């Protein structure tokens, strides 16, 4: 098994943190996104969507999409559980992880790609085209994040972690979302003390420190 990834890529980092939490060590094959290796062979055949990360299995199967990779790794290495041990836990964690990803991570990712000059001509991941950058998308992403952060604060008032008392994939997604948001100058509002308390705890985990 190998992970095709680019070290600074936030989605790759989601998978790498997930692996570190589980103590999984697989060889990393660096895909140099800066030199457009994602649009060339051999990577293009592994993932025609031209994005990292991609997990290569020993039988030649390629799995793209960070959450799908985590799902596979969770099944292979159930301990410590990051996606739930039974039907109820799995559903609750997936509910929170989807909230983090759909309502926060993705709006922030689009906000970033529409704000930073370096993303001109590549506003959509894995594409190069002349779609313009729209400042409105950046603003909408920031607004969406602030709404989600307030909702997270309510949840974290009574829960140590996003999906309850245990650290899960939802915490990894949310942590990376906040890290991405820093790049468009959005930080946790001062009044959201529960989010701040949670972020400090997650940020100090050894899996995030390397
Ligand atoms: N939904 C995908 C998104 C993957 C993605 O957007 N990867 C970025 C790096 S974080 C990428 O490879 N971008 C290459 C490009 O835009 O050309 C996942 O969760 O794995």
Domain 87-209 has CATH 3.90.1210.10: no
Which pLDDT score is estimated for 43? Answer: 98
pLDDT at 118 over 90: yes
Which pLDDT score is estimated for 143? Answer: 98
Closest atom of ligand 1 to 36 CA is 17
Specify the fold of 2-76.
Glutaredoxin (3.40.30)
Mean pLDDT of all residues in 2-26: 97
pLDDT in tens, 36-95: 999 999 999 999 999 999 999 999 999 999 999 999 999 999 999 999 999 999 999 999
Please give the distance, rounded to the nearest whole angstrom, from the Cα atom of residue 125 to the centre of ligand 1. 5
Q: Could you check whether 2-76 and 87-209 share the same CATH topology?
A: no
Nearest protein CA to atom 2 of ligand 1, as residue: 65
pLDDT at 210 over 80: no
10 lines ligand 1 (CB under 6 A): yes
Nearest protein CA to atom 5 of ligand 1, as residue: 51
What is the percentage of the chain residues whose pLDDT exceeds 90? 99
How far is the C-alpha of 26 from the C-alpha of 28, rounded, in Å?
A: 6
pLDDT in tens, 148-190: 999 999 999 999 999 999 999 999 999 999 999 999 999 999 9
How far is the C-alpha of 25 from the C-alpha of 205, rounded, in Å?
A: 17
52 lines ligand 1 (CB under 6 A): yes
Which pLDDT score is estimated for 62? Answer: 98
Tell me the domain boundaries of the chain.
Answer: 2-76, 87-209
Nearest protein CA to atom 8 of ligand 1, as residue: 51
At 209, is the pLDDT very low, low, confident or very high (cuts 50, 70, 90)?
Answer: low
How far is the C-alpha of 91 from the C-alpha of 183, rounded, in Å?
A: 31
Please give the distance, rounded to the nearest whole angstrom, from the Cα atom of residue 146 to the centre of ligand 1. 23
Please give the distance, rounded to the nearest whole angstrom, from the Cα atom of residue 24 to the centre of ligand 1. 22
46 lines ligand 1 (CB under 6 A): no
How far is the C-alpha of 27 from the C-alpha of 11, rounded, in Å?
A: 17
138, containing H or E segment: helix 135-157
């Amino acid at each position: 098994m190998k992970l095709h990834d680019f070290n600074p890529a936030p989605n790759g980092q989601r998978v790498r943190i997930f692996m570190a939490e589980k103590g999984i060590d697989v060889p990393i094959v660096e895909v140099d996104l800066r030199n457009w290796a994602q649009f060339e062979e051999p990577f293009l055949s592994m993932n025609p969507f031209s994005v990292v990360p991609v997990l290569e299995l020993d039988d030649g199967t390629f799995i793209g999409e960070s959450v799908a990779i985590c799902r596979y790794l969770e099944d292979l290495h159930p301990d410590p559980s990051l996606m739930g041990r039974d039907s109820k836990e799995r559903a609750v964690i997936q509910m929170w992880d989807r909230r983090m990803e759909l309502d926060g991570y993705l709006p922030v990712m689009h906000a970033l790609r529409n704000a930073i000059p370096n993303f001109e001509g590549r506003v959509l991941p894995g594409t190069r085209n002349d779609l313009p950058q729209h400042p409105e998308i950046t603003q909408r992403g920031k607004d969406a994040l602030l709404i989600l952060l307030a909702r997270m604060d309510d949840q974290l008032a009574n829960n140590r972690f996003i999906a309850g008392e245990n650290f899960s994939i939802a915490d990894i997604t949310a942590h990376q979302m906040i890290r991405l948001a820093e790049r468009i100058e959005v930080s946790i509002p001062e009044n959201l003390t529960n989010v701040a308390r949670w972020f400090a705890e997650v940020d100090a985990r050894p899996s995030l420190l390397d």
